[in-house]
Structure 1
């Protein structure tokens, strides 16, 4: 808050701006009533904008330039990072996805080939007679074959 003092002229000259003491008290009373009315109508934004006058212009300029440099740095960094993410994502989709699909197809083909080979080996064992090899130490006669039902 600002304190206002009236300084008397030492030489005693009458100033054209001087006023009688009765008007001084009445103006103080009217100012106090006006200031309370203004503070009620004053918003937070108005108070903040009034604080600008407290900071010297050179300091304000330095703060504003540093803030604008920071904002431009963040914007440029965001743009560069966005472009890098876009390039990596697009490359992964264009190169990685078809590669992954072809590897999956190749794995399916290999699994099918193994299954076919297993079926062929099973058929050869069935044609040979027994699906189980003879136990060790036993001699099988040439005329007799063991009959094993299918599925065992």
Structure 2
């Protein structure tokens, strides 16, 4: 912000910017001492806020509107992305998880059925006479055992 001060006549004579010949040649007040006194009280925020006055109002409005449009675009995009993630996550929990569990149960049942069939085939083969070697006098040839499915 720019501060406006009323300068009285008596302060002008002691100013380093006075038009007197004496004040031009006097070295009692230099320009650097005046600047250092003014900058001691200013903060970084004050200096940044003073830059606002340099930029014209139309340019400030354009920059502000573009920035707000970009912020709204990012906000809407984040909201849409969040909704998509929510839908995918809840769908996975409500549909895919029970489906995966039922497929796993079905696979266990199929494995148990196969194991039961193998046990039944093993017990049948133990009772069959082909498991024992033929007697030397018989002409029965022994067939090789082939696992089921071949």
TM-score by length of 1: 0.67
Which structure has more relative contact order (CA 8 Å, sep 6+)? It is: 2
Deviations 1:73-122 (A, max 9, x none): 11011111101110111011100000000000000000000000000000
Aligned residues between the structures: 121
The change in CA–CA distance for 1:28 and 1:54 in structure 2 (over 3 A counts) is farther
CA distance in 2, matches of 1:87, 1:55: 46
CA distance in 1, matches of 2:54, 2:132: 101
Q: Which residue matches 2:74? A: 74
CA RMSD of superposed structures (Å): 2.8
Deviations 1:35-93 (A, max 9, x none): 21232443322222111111111000000011001101110111111011101110111
Q: Which residue matches 2:144? A: none
Unaligned runs of 5+ in 2: 1-17, 142-150
Unaligned runs of 5+ in 1: 1-17, 142-152
CA distance in 1, matches of 2:45, 2:25: 32
TM-score by length of 2: 0.68
CA distance in 2, matches of 1:132, 1:40: 110
